[in-house]
Amino acid sequence: MDFKLTPEQEALRKEFEGYAEELMKDAPPGWETSMEFQYSDEGWEFTKRTHERLAEKGWLVRHWPREYGGMNAPIVEQLIYSEAMGYHRVPAGDIISVGMIGPTLLAIGSEEQKQEHLPPIARAEIYWCQGWSEPNAGSDLACLVTRGVRVGDKYVVNGQKTWTSNAHHADWCFMLARTNPEEKRSRGLSFLLVDMKTHGITIRPLCGMEGSHLFNEVYFDDVHVPVENRVGEENDGWRVTRATMNFERSGANSFAGVRRSLDDLIAACREIEWYDKTLADNPLIRHRLAQLSMEIEAGRALAHRIAWSQEKGEFLQAAHLASASKVYASELSQRFSSIACQVFGLYS
């Protein structure tokens, strides 16, 4: 594969970078350094405002078909967009709405569901949350027990979800419920779209140690969900959950984000003095920074390979690689944080 961008793609990259810098001029103080702040009311306002500005330019879902608010853009362009926004720490699109339910509906939703839900996501008007994890169903999601009982033209849902990111801001929730208790594990689940204003839904905050409010517990007590809000066939919800593979999910923004953090760390190492030399003069530190740089570059190459495979239509191959990229990016962030802590010592 050829890693070089075409002149048109290079121009696009510059345009994305320029707008990303402009957007971040409005970032409130604390945005870049405090996760607690990002999830505060003020942080959420900035996130929403930024999404709206990106939506006005048509960039939020550039890679979606035009009829649903996109620009039919090639996946590689979406990767360039993700890298530019990731590097500048721009909240470039809600991962759950734009990154998960949107592609799922595009792949498997009915035409009515697409018409109803995709354009408002493209316009950054509505937000979704993901109701999958339960108190006893996390890594092993297929043992979830929330029930959906079919009664005429609706499902009556009872159960509890947990770790539900952003449920307190969400307009809608996509969830998995067990609609056939006779079936085991991943069989017997259905994928439902639930309006968060429906009677019987209770949201309770699960705050982080540092006080941030991202997660929630969501309780469903006799919640009525119309049958037309089911995506895919009844009891075939597991297949639906795996349908997002056709859209950009290379992790390019994560690698660009770590690259930015490394650039910041290197700049600090060039300034901070220790025994009459800067930290950047220390061979041990130089070695660690170089190692991180190589690992970020390997991640970036993996992300580009995924986008390249997707463009060639190798979706299954791209899906495997995307899982690898997700694990690699998560572990790389941890290695970065660990090394940054070692470099700064007690200050970190």
Ligand X SMILES: Cc1cc2nc3c(=O)[nH]c(=O)nc-3n(C[C@H](O)[C@H](O)[C@H](O)COP(=O)(O)OP(=O)(O)OC[C@H]3O[C@@H](n4cnc5c(N)ncnc54)[C@H](O)[C@@H]3O)c2cc1C
- The minimum distance between CB 216 and ligand X, in angstroms, equals 9
For 23, phi then psi, to 5°, come to -60, -40
- Of 162-170, 224-232, 280-288, 294-302, the segment contacting ligand X by CB under 6 A is 162-170
- The minimum distance between CB 267 and ligand X, in angstroms, equals 28
Between 77 and 134, CB nearer to ligand X: 134
Among residues 40, 50, 113, 165, the one that binds ligand X under rule CB under 6 A: 165
Identify the CA nearest to 175 among candidates 110, 117, 240.
240
How far is the first Cα of the chain from the last one, in angstroms, to the nearest whole number? 40
Q: Is 133 in the site for ligand X (CB under 6 A)?
A: yes
- 311 belongs to the catalytic site: no
Identify the CA nearest to 254 among candidates 322, 342, 343, 314.
322
Identify the CA nearest to 265 among candidates 170, 339, 186.
339
Q: Is 31 in the site for ligand X (CB under 6 A)?
A: no
Maximal CA-CA distance, the chain: 78
Contacting residues for 238 by C-beta, under 8 A, at least 6 apart: 142, 176, 186, 187, 189
In the shown chain, the binding pattern of residues 265 to 304 toward ligand X, with x for contact by CB under 6 A and - for none, equals ----------------------------------------
DSSP H helices, 5-125, are 7-24, 35-38, 41-56, 75-87, 102-108, 111-122
Strand partners, 175: 131, 192
> Judged by CB under 6 A, how many residues of this single chain contact ligand X?
11
- The minimum distance between CB 138 and ligand X, in angstroms, equals 2
Cβ neighbourhood burial of 169 (10 Å; 0-12, 13-18, 19+): buried
Check the CA dihedral 305-306-312-318 and report its sign.
positive
- Of 62-70, 157-165, 197-205, 279-287, the segment contacting ligand X by CB under 6 A is 157-165
Between 154 and 326, CB nearer to ligand X: 326
Between 139 and 346, CB nearer to ligand X: 139
Question: What is the number of the residue whose Cβ is closest to ligand X?
Answer: 138
Half-sphere exposure of 83 (CA within 13 A, CB side): 23
Among residues 82, 130, 250, 253, the one that binds ligand X under rule CB under 6 A: 130
Between 24 and 137, CB nearer to ligand X: 137
Among residues 18, 28, 138, 208, the one that binds ligand X under rule CB under 6 A: 138
Q: Is 139 in the site for ligand X (CB under 6 A)?
A: yes
Q: Is 205 in the site for ligand X (CB under 6 A)?
A: no
Contacting residues for 304 by C-beta, under 8 A, at least 6 apart: 1, 3, 79, 250, 252
- Of 64-72, 101-109, 124-132, 150-158, the segment contacting ligand X by CB under 6 A is 124-132
Q: Is 163 in the site for ligand X (CB under 6 A)?
A: yes
- Vertex 146 angle, CA 142 and 151, to 5°: 120
Q: Which of 248, 271, 311, 314 is catalytic?
A: 248
DSSP H helices, 95-245, are 102-108, 111-122, 237-241
Q: Is 40 in the site for ligand X (CB under 6 A)?
A: no
Q: Is 97 in the site for ligand X (CB under 6 A)?
A: no
Among residues 132, 174, 238, 255, the one that binds ligand X under rule CB under 6 A: 132
- Of 23-31, 138-146, 151-159, 260-268, the segment contacting ligand X by CB under 6 A is 138-146
- The minimum distance between CB 344 and ligand X, in angstroms, equals 24
Cβ neighbourhood burial of 14 (10 Å; 0-12, 13-18, 19+): exposed
Q: Mind telling me the catalytic residues?
A: 248
Which stretches of the chain bind ligand X, using CB under 6 A?
129-133, 138-140, 163-165
